[in-house]
A and B are shown apart, each in its own frame.
Chain A
Amino acid sequence: MAVAVRLSAVSKKFGGFTANSNISLSIEKGRIHAIVGENGAGKSTLTKIIYGMHLPTSGVLFIEDKARRFTSPREAIRAGIGMVHQHFMLVPELSVTENIILGHERSHLFAPLPLKKAKATIKQDAESYGLAVDPDALVTTLSVGEQQRVEILKLLFRQVSIMIFDEPTAVLTPSESEQLFETLRSLRNQGKTIILITHKLDEVLSVADTISVMRKGEIVGTVAASSVTKQELAWMMVGRTILMSVANPEATPGKTVLSLKNLGYQTRQGEIKLQHLTLQVRAGEIYGIAGVEGNGQNELLQILWGLTAKEAIICGEATLNGTSIIGKKTAQRVLTGISLVPENRLRHAVITDYTVSENLLFGRHRERSFHHWFGFSSAVISNYAETMIADFDIRCGAPATQQLSTLSGGNQQKVVLAREFNRPAISLLILAQPTRGVDIGAIEAIHKKIIAARQRGLAILLLSSELDEIVALSTRIGCIFKGSIVHEFCQQEVSLKKESEHEFLKEIGLHIT
């Protein structure tokens, strides 16, 4: 079969750091070729070389058997290469059509835009690839999934033949992901070449034809998707066999810690986000909330952490160890024993320009034990940081000087977890997507820590879009749909049904859609 993209001994160095070393790879035309690897393995650099954002330090890039040297994405686009970035490149105030033709207007300066003609092409593309989206809608009004479709339509409009997708499902709900895979398959069937960057192995196995695994800047192997298992892929990625699910001894729950009764949440626009949500979390258990994103999980977290919008109407009861928490400020909640690991780590849980030590302190800086006169006691903090770094195996240099932004995603998350797991007088731990964007090796370590925290007698509320994570960790599972818990699996059910994981996942899936 013809080769669409070929890399021959390509290396890329940044200063003394080698991001890609001696990579040789052939990507066949009309296939879905996945590139997997842990965070920092060099996947992004590789795609940026193909897309013209980086020039390789050495080696040659061939596009359809012609040696190319792109100095900008513009040249790559002209050569028929398109990319859907993880963070969409759309102008929110413009309509779908305007966004799609942007940079590709094909009309004279000051002449009116050929919107009608463009709209017709877009409609045709949308129909033939199942990319339903209203061409007149403003991009701001679209959901994340729809925005991604606009990005794909943009590539189709430019008639690219090679499409690069960078972590396309990171922002999607499971059903949107399924839809995306359908689109990818139909794109491939129409002869497009697809390069898929991801670290989700299940997805890769279900959608890709060929899989290349990267580790530490090198390609460690390229295999056909049909001839490899998840475990084998994982082993190639980390270079060792890892437990796909950690040992999870039976829990012995104690008294109720968090009790939510008939919780309701209505936005100012009158949209109901939560209704009659009732659940209890007991000491020494993990209560997993399974559900598709956007079914009220965010609002639930807002209520629990005291960050609800001013105009929102909240009803019902929320008590922690018998006292109501509604109306309390975030700083007060911490004192009552709640700890939260928010979903969006970089935006909400850390200050990326602060050092590792300063981040280990963030949100806990009001604790007296760290204080010294008007500032902080550097001795106490360096002691504390040393302990946390050893306990959570955080890989970093000197914590007092290394900036958090220089750590890998997994290590950043470990910093957050170390801080939140060890708050004094903690009784409830809320974990939202605790392993999102974290590589496999770190996931295992984090799961172990979560189980250990449960063993310590903490009540844990776990929200995750990864169903297998929910099943692997939870003592009880609540299925959330349209703002209420529509079904709850008790402890016996969970431990019984876990035996046949696949069936259980399917059953949960029925309750959350």
Chain B
Amino acid sequence: MNNPTTMNRTTLRFFVTFLSLLTAGGICALLIALAGRNPLIIFQKMFSATLGSSYGMGQLIFKMTTLLLVGLAVAIPFRLRLFNIGGEGQLLLGAFTAAMTGTILPESIPPIAAILLCTLAAMVAGACWALLAGVLKVQCGVNEVIGTIMLNFIAQAITGYLLTYHFAIPSTVHTSPIVKAAAIPTLYKVTGWFTNSPANLSTLLAISMALLCWFLLFHSRFGYEMRAAGLQPDAAQYGGINAKSHSLSAMGLGGAAAGLGAANIILGYKHYFEAGATGGIGFTGITVALLAGAHPLWLIPSALFFGFTEYGGLTVNALIPKEIFMIIQALAIILVISFSALEKRFH
């Protein structure tokens, strides 16, 4: 009757999100103008340095890849009402594990095997770290927000210690490089596009992961149970669904996605682990997931948007502080949430 149908809801959500982004952009333009610059020129520069240049496009894709994966790390547990704040810690451990695995492999190993091994190691490390928070939640009742935040600190401390005291090359802050075979080829090398940019083949892995999660959630029996357990835990119990095991799977899957993010940074770009390798990008994953409404496929445009503001901000940093674009990101989320609330009140 007066309830919007499913189809309507999706369109409405899209409209609300679009409107929020537009408003956030408008406010940002105002701030730029207040800072004494012409927003049109700044925006024009941002676009030409990202979408307008082959190198810029590559940078955008590179940023998007990690953001997509850390976004998945938040989005999947979110479906079970679990708020995974630990994407950063899971990514960090994944990165360290990937780099370590890459250094101990023999030089003669075939590239496919080396990449596979390193990637899997990173995913397992991320998954284990997230699962730890999941087990603490399910078995001991430790709230997952607190658990994952604490585990972030621990991950940072462990990797910091191991790097500084054991694995860093003397007088540097990074480990020795991974074997050549473990390096994921850049898209430039493979296709000739995206001149000299760090974008690499792990983007395909990230998109496959998003597709896999989408399929699992919306087209498999596993996802049917998982979504039910997230929507109505009590009903799920009556339906014979084990909500606890689904909580663990969701955390594990999310952690694995975050770990895979390390493949992009370490195996595809840096080729070694260094202090601050992840740069807090795991936390941006939370906002990426919120903007996408925790939907695995909407995460892709959402990650692209955040990648655009992050890299685009860098390109105009000489004219305007890039922090202005952090304001855009945060504003977009606040606006989406408040517009959605307004829209609900309308009905």
Least CB distance, A457 to chain B, in whole angstroms: 25
Residue of B at shortest CB range from A347? B234
In B217-240, the 8 Å CB interface with A consists of: 219-222, 224-225, 227-228, 231-232, 234-235, 237-240
Contacts A/B (CB < 8 Å), 25 sampled: A14-B2, A15-B1, A15-B2, A15-B347, A16-B2, A17-B2, A330-B237, A347-B232, A347-B235, A351-B235, A352-B231, A361-B224, A362-B228, A363-B238, A363-B239, A365-B224, A366-B221, A371-B221, A374-B219, A374-B220, A374-B222, A375-B221, A402-B5, A406-B1, A406-B3
| Distance to closest chain A CB from B42 (angstroms) | 43
Q: Is the CB of B3 within 8 A of A403?
A: yes
Q: State in angstroms the CA–CA spacing of A329 and B215 once bound together.
A: 29
Digit string of A318-362 for contact with B (CB within 8 Å is 1, else 0)?
Answer: 000000000001110110000010100001111111110010011
Chain A contact residues: helix, strand, loop or mixed: mixed
Q: Are A342 and B219 in contact (CB under 8 A)?
A: no
In this assembly, does A490 line the interface, its C-beta being within 8 Å of a C-beta of chain B? Answer: no
Q: Which of A15, A342, A352, A374 contacts B221 (CB 8 A)?
A: A374
Counting CB contacts under 8 A, is B6 at the interface? yes
Secondary structure dominating the interface of B: helix
Report how far A305 CA is from B215 CA in the complex, Å.
32
Find out whether the CB atom of A401 lies under 8 angstroms from the CB atom of B6: yes
Q: Could you say which residues of chain A place their CB within 8 Å of the CB of B347?
A: 15
Q: Is A157 positioned at the interface, with any CB of B under 8 Å from its CB?
A: no
What distance in Å separates the Cβ of B292 from its nearest Cβ neighbour in chain A?
18
Closest 10 CB pairs of A and B: A331-B240, A363-B239, A330-B240, A15-B2, A14-B2, A17-B1, A374-B220, A348-B238, A17-B2, A375-B219
Question: On chain B, which size bracket covers the interface?
Answer: 20 to 34
A307 at interface, CB cutoff 8 A = yes
- Residues of chain B in range 1-58 having any CB-CB distance to chain A below 8 Å: 1-3, 5-7
* A350 with B235, Cβ < 8 A, contacts A331-B240, A401-B6, A406-B3 known: yes
Query: B240 touching A329 by the CB < 8 A rule?
Result: yes
A376 within 8 A of B: yes
Please count how many residues in chain A sit with their CB below 8 Å of the partner chain's CB atoms: 37
Type the 1/0 row for A423-454, where 1 means its CB is closer than 8 Å to any CB of B.
00000000000000000000000000000000
For A14, the chain B residues whose CB sits under 8 A away are 1-2
Among residues 12 to 61 in chain A, which have CB atoms less than 8 Å away from a CB atom of chain B?
14-17
In-complex Cβ contact of A348 among B227, B231, B234 (8 A): B234
Contact status of A375 and B220, CB under 8 A, knowing A330-B238, A330-B240, A348-B235: yes
CA distance A350 to B236 in the complex (A): 9
| Residues of chain A lying within 8 A (CB to CB) of residue B221 | 365-366, 371, 374-376
Q: Is B3's CB under 8 angstroms from A351's CB?
A: no
Q: How long is the Cα–Cα vector from A403 to B235 in the complex, in angstroms?
A: 16
From A334, A348, A351, A405, name the one whose CB has the most chain B CB atoms within 10 angstroms.
A351
Excluding A15-B1, A362-B235, 6 further A-B contacts by CB distance (< 8 Å) are A16-B2, A17-B1, A17-B2, A331-B240, A351-B227, A374-B222
State the Cβ distance, A249 to closest chain B Cβ, in Å. 32
Q: Which residues of A contact B234 (CB under 8 A)?
A: 347-348
Which of A15, A16, A17, A307 makes the CB contact (< 8 A) with B238? A307
- Give the CA-CA distance A117 to B6 in the complex, in Å: 54
**A6 CA to B228 CA in the complex, in Å?**
46
Asked whether A340 and B238 contact (CB < 8 A) given A347-B232, A365-B224, the answer is yes
Chain A residues contacting B220 (CB-CB under 8 Å) are: 374-375
Chain B residues, CB < 8 A from A352: 231-232
A137-B347 Cα distance, complex, nearest whole Å: 39
Give, as a whole number of angstroms, the nearest-CB distance from B262 to chain A: 28
B215 CB contacts on chain A under 8 angstroms: 374
